[in-house]
C-alpha cells in the first residue's frame, strides 16, 4: 500500500503541490485474455442455422476429428471442461475411495480435485528443476518404495506446467514397470511436444482444456483423448448420462452431463487452425522477455529441456530479491499499480491449506519456484508495444 499523504504538510516536510501531474491511465494488460481468430461469428452462424444446438451433431464431430489430427491420437471426445475430462479420466481408470493418485505438486488444483471428490487420496511429488514438471527420477524411487509397501497408486497424473510438456517417455517407463496407469493433464499444453510427439503422448489418457485463457479456446470446454478407442467410447457413454440404447432410458450405471455443446464446438473449430501460429507468437513473447530482461541480475526464466517444445502458455520468470533488489510480490504489486496483471507461480498443492494432511515426497524445488516465480502477460493478442510496457515497468524496479 502506498503511504497516505498527510493532508496538512508538516513543517519539516517539503511542501507538495496540491495536485500532482499523473500520466493518463493506460488500458489494463491482462495475463492471458481470450484472443479471437475472427472466424468465430461465421462458424457460430453456420452451426446455429444447422439447428444442431445439442451436444451432438456435425460440428461436434468435426471438432473432435480436428482434435485427433492436432494431437495425433486416433480417438477424442469433446467435453464441457478440462476438469470434466480429468474427472472422466479418473472414472475410466477405475479410481475408487481409498485409492492413491499421484501428481506433481506444482499444478492447478483441478488436476486432483475430481479424484479427491471421488474419495481418493492424493500424494504430491516434487518437480524437476530442469522442466518444472513431475520429476521422473523421484517418481521411479517412490514407485519402487510403494511397491515394497504393497500400495501402488491407481493413477499417476503428470501436469504440463504453463505449456511445458512432462517427460512422458521417462514417466511411462517408470509406471509401466508396475502396471500403473497414466493420465496426462495437458490442459494448457495443446501444441506442445515432447520426444518428437505431442504433449501427453505415452499416457493412457490425455486431458486438454479450451478455457477462455488457453492458447485456443471454445469459450470453455475440454477433451479427453486416447489411442484406445474402447476407452473413449466409454468416456462418451459416461459423458452423456450413461444412457443405454433404449427408448425408455435404460441405465446400467450412472454417468455425467459432460458433453460439449455444439455451440462451443463451433468456436473451438474456428480457433483450432490458428493453434500453431499462436504457439509461435507465445514463444516469441517469451523470447522477447528473455532478451529484454534476462541479463538483469536476479532475473531468470522457466527452462525448456532439449527433448521438448513448450507452448509457453504463460511466460514464467524467477525473481531473486537479493540480486534484483525487490521480491516477486513487490514486483507484482508495482505492475498491478500500472494496470499490468502478473501472477505468482501456482502455490504448490502440498502447501495448500486444503491438503495439510496429505502426504508428499520432496516439494522443496516447487516451494522455491513458488517463492520467486512470477507469470507475466502472455496473451497471443498482446502487441509488442504493450509487452514493452511490462518490460519497462520491470526494468524500472531494478535496484
The contact set with ligand PLP (CB under 6 A) reads 81-83, 107-108, 110-111, 159, 185, 187-188, 209, 211, 222
CB of 103 to ligand PLP, least distance (A): 10
Strands 373-376 and 155-157: unpaired
| Closer by beta carbon to ligand PLP, 213 or else 338 | 213
Q: Which is closer to ligand PLP, CB of 81 or CB of 121? A: 81
Q: How far is the CB of 296 from ligand PLP (least distance, A)?
A: 28
**How many Cβ atoms are within 10 Å of 1's Cβ, its own excluded?**
4
Looking at the Cβ atoms of 99 and 185, the one nearer to ligand PLP is 185
DSSP run (H or E) holding 323: helix 321-324
C-alpha cell at 275: 493453434
Nearest distance from residue 222's CB to ligand PLP, in Å?
Answer: 5
* DSSP 8-state symbol, 13: S
H/E segment holding residue 334: helix 328-337
- Residue 388: CB minimum distance to ligand PLP, A: 27
Which single residue is written with the C-alpha cell 502478473? 342
Q: How far is the CB of 156 from ligand PLP (least distance, A)?
A: 15
Report the residue number, 83 or 194, with the smaller CB distance to ligand PLP.
83
d(CA 287, CA 278): 14
How many of the other CB atoms lie within 10 Å of CB of 65? 12
Rounded to 10 degrees, the C-alpha dihedral 363/365/370/376 comes to: -140
Q: Reduce the DSSP state of residue 321 to 3 states and report it.
A: helix
State in angstroms the smallest separation of the CB of 267 from ligand PLP. Answer: 14
DSSP state of 164: B
CB of 70 to ligand PLP, least distance (A): 16
Q: Please, what is the minimum distance in Å from the beta carbon of residue 94 to ligand PLP?
A: 21
291-296: which pairs have CB atoms within 8 A and are 24 or more residues apart? Answer: 292/388, 292/391, 292/395, 293/317, 293/391, 293/394, 293/395, 296/324, 296/395, 296/398
CA angle 16, 18, 21 (to 5 degrees): 90
Q: Which is nearer to ligand PLP, 165 or 222 (CB)?
A: 222
Give the residue with the Cβ less far from ligand PLP, 59 or 111. 111
Report helix angle 58-71 to 262-271, nearest 10.
40
Unique residue bearing C-alpha cell 500500500 = 1
Residues 6+ apart with CB under 8 A from 238: 88, 91, 92, 253, 255, 256, 258
- Please identify, using beta-carbon distances, which residue of 86 and 293 lies nearer to ligand PLP: 86
Least gap, CB of 85 to ligand PLP (angstroms): 8
Cα–Cα distances in Å, from 43 out to 62, 213, 263?
12, 20, 9
Counting beta carbons within 10 angstroms of the beta carbon of residue 137, is it exposed (0 to 12), middle (13 to 18) or buried (19 or more)?
exposed
Cβ closer to ligand PLP: 126 or 393? 126
Q: How far is the CB of 53 from ligand PLP (least distance, A)?
A: 21
The residue number with the shortest CB distance to ligand PLP is 82
Q: Which is nearer to ligand PLP, 146 or 314 (CB)?
A: 314
Closest to ligand PLP by CB, 110 or 302: 110
The rounded distance, in Å, linking the Cα atoms of 194 and 200 is 8
Amino acid at each position: 500500500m502506498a503511504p497516505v499523504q498527510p493532508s496538512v504538510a508538516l513543517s519539516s516536510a517539503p511542501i507538495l503541490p496540491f495536485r500532482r501531474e499523473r500520466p493518463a491511465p493506460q488500458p489494463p494488460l491482462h495475463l492471458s485474455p481470450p484472443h479471437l481468430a475472427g472466424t468465430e461469428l461465421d462458424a457460430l452462424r453456420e452451426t446455429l442455422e444447422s439447428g444442431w444446438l445439442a451436444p451432438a451433431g456435425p460440428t461436434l464431430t468435426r471438432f473432435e476429428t480436428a482434435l485427433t489430427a492436432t494431437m495425433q491420437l486416433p480417438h477424442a471426445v469433446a467435453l464441457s471442461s478440462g476438469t470434466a475430462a480429468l474427472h472422466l479420466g479418473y472414472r475410466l481408470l477405475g479410481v475408487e475411495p481409498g485409492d492413491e493418485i499421484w501428481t506433481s505438486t506444482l499444478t492447478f488444483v483441478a488436476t486432483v480435485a475430481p479424484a479427491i471428490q471421488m474419495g481418493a487420496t492424493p500424494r504430491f511429488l516434487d518437480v524437476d528443476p530442469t522442466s518444472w514438471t513431475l520429476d521422473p527420477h523421484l517418481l521411479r524411487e517412490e514407485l519402487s518404495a510403494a511397491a515394497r509397501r504393497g500400495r501402488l497408486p491407481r493413477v499417476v497424473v503428470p501436469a504440463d506446467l504453463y505449456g511445458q510438456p512432462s517427460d512422458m517417455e521417462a514417466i511411462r517407463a517408470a509406471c509401466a514397470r508396475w502396471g500403473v496407469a497414466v493420465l496426462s493433464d495437458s490442459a494448457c499444453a495443446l501444441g506442445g511436444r515432447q520426444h518428437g510427439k505431442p504433449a501427453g503422448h505415452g499416457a493412457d489418457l490425455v486431458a486438454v482444456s479450451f478455457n477462455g485463457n488457453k492458447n485456443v479456446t471454445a469459450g470453455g470446454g475440454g477433451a479427453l483423448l486416447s489411442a484406445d478407442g474402447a476407452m473413449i467410447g466409454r468416456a462418451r457413454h459416461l459423458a452423456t448420462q450413461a444412457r443405454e440404447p433404449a427408448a425408455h432410458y435404460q441405465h446400467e450405471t450412472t454417468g455425467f452431463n459432460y458433453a460439449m455443446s455444439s455451440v462451443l464446438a463451433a468456436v473451438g473449430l474456428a480457433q483450432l487452425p490458428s493453434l500453431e501460429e499462436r504457439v509461435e507468437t507465445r514463444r516469441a513473447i517469451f523470447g522477447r522477455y528473455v532478451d529484454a530482461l534476462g541479463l538483469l541480475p536476479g532475473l531468470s526464466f522457466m527452462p525448456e529441456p532439449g527433448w521438448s517444445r513448450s507452448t509457453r502458455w504463460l511466460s514464467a520468470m524467477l525473481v531473486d530479491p537479493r540480486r534484483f533488489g525487490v521480491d516477486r510480490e513487490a514486483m507484482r504489486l508495482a505492475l498491478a499499480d500500472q494496470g499490468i496483471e502478473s501472477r505468482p507461480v501456482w502455490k504448490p498443492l502440498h502447501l495448500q491449506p486444503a491438503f495439510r494432511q496429505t502426504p508428499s515426497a520432496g516439494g522443496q524445488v516447487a516451494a522455491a519456484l513458488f517463492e520467486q516465480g512470477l507469470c507475466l502477460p502472455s496473451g497471443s493478442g498482446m502487441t509488442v508495444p504493450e509487452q514493452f510496457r511490462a518490460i519497462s515497468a520491470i526494468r524500472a524496479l531494478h535496484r
